Amino acid sequence: MERKTYTKVCKRCGKTFTAKMKQTRFCHSCAGAQCAGRKKAHGEERGKHVKNNMEGLTNASIEARAHGMTYGQWMGQKYKGRVKVYREE
């Protein structure tokens, strides 16, 4: 049984190519570059998120030390305050 093939035009470079799947949008040479571009963009976005999270942890740690507590004690106090607020509502 032969698989059906589709003649497509690449959305990136405009070349005509043969695809094995109906949903394929890029030729073989452009598919790798397209995937790498998406991964790079995702990695940059993820890096920003991790950096922001680390800044938050650092700030919380500095704030805890300023109040004479460890990070865990400080976060516990903040959590207790949140629980009381939720229970009052």
Question: Which one has a higher pLDDT value, 31 or 45?
Answer: 31
pLDDT in tens, 32-66: 777 777 777 777 666 565 555 677 788 888 888 88
What is d(CA 59, CA 68) in angstroms, rounded to the nearest whole number?
Answer: 14
pLDDT for residue 83: 43
What is d(CA 43, CA 41) in angstroms, rounded to the nearest whole number?
Answer: 5
Note whether residue 82 is domain-resident: yes
Domain count, the chain: 1
Give residue for tokens 């032969």.
Answer: 2
Note whether residue 19 is domain-resident: yes
C-alpha count within 13 angstroms, C-beta hemisphere, residue 66 = 6
Note whether residue 1 is domain-resident: no
What is the domain range of residue 82? 6-88
Note whether residue 56 is domain-resident: yes
Using the predicted structure, report yes or no on whether residue 12 has a pLDDT greater than 70: yes
Mean pLDDT of 5-23: 90
CA proximity to 25, closest of 40, 37, 36, 13: 13
What is d(CA 21, CA 10) in angstroms, rounded to the nearest whole number?
Answer: 13
